[in-house]
Amino acid sequence: MKTIPQKMKLRLQLNSWLITIALASMAAVPVTSEKATAYLSVDHGVTWQRADAGFPEDENINAVIAHNKLVYAGTDRHGVLAMDRNGWSVQSRGLPKGARVLSLLSYNHVIYAGLYRGGLYFSSDDGYNWTRMGRNNETNVRALGEFKGVIYAGTDEGIYSVDLRSGSWELLLGKQQINTFASNGSYLYGGTHQGVVRSDDGIHWEQVFEGAAINQIAFNQSDVSIMDYSENVFRGVLDKPTFVKEDIYLPHTHYFRLTPTSGKLIGTEWSDISFYNSVNRRGLPANTPLNILIRTPFGLLAASKGGC
């Protein structure tokens, strides 16, 4: 009996290679309107349909995660919304009224939400109730990450570790705005307004890229790729991350666009979903930027991320 080639196995498994995120629901049904907050694909990106039932009109999405078979979105004015097979609903009891949620993290059956000028909140009951963690209630928590069992908060002032038992915060790296976190298990990387920092223990940090403000980080085996806010992409080797600008090589290896007006999305082995053929975008409006993509229990989900 013939064995299945490794490349085909990767396609069948649809590895979680994307660092950007997308939204939608299995319950979504196609409608006539072109523009929507979120879209769903249940056939690996070949066709798409709307998935914004119950989502407030004119609301922005800042962060999305999958948690306990649901999808959660951090918004500008409605706190946290949760999506099941019937659509979206607000789940923000305990958050400040009109909370602007910039970041989300799922870790050890708990959801963490970083707020604009509101510090950090957590929910241990799938988002039904939220409790503030610590006293940093005036801090912008732009990014949340987990590394070796520790939660890290990326703020306008730098990187903090958060003690989950006492709720206390400890400043580990100051004087840098942190936009994103990503970890490959060996290192925790942070995208800052001045480049990229990394740590192998969460305590000691080194600068591995200087210059542009970074908003995305992705890993591919022994490589790490980063993207700045101007959509320039750089790649480096994990062991010695000297980054080289790689846009000229990326169309077939590291980035793609969901629609012609989308921001670039970077990941690894993205040919598992061939977005470069127009037939693979059926149902996505060409004039609607989509720069969030995530694999969820309901399928592939795509949406537009609001500004911070």
Read off the tokens for 22: 């997308």
92 vs 123: CA distance, rounded Å: 10
179 vs 156: CA distance, rounded Å: 9
Q: Which domains does the chain have, with CATH numbers?
A: 6-303 (2.130.10.10)
Q: Residue 267: its pLDDT value, please?
A: 63
Q: How many helices (H) and strands (E) does the chain have?
A: 1, 26
Higher pLDDT, 222 or 155: 155
**Does the predicted model carry a pTM greater than 0.95?**
no
In the chain, the percentage of residues whose pLDDT exceeds 90 is 51
The b-or-e profile of 9-32 (16+ CB within 10 A means b, else e) is eebeeeeebbbbbbbbbeebeeee
For the stretch 42-88, pLDDT in tens is: 887 888 899 999 999 889 999 999 999 999 999 999 999 999 989 99
74 touches 101 (CB < 8 A): yes
Q: Quickly state the pLDDT bin for 219 (edges 50, 70, 90).
A: confident
Q: Which residues, 6+ apart, have CB-to-CB distance to 235 below 8 Å? A: 223, 224, 225, 226, 243, 244, 246, 254
- Among all chains, which residue has been given the structure tokens 């949760």? 82
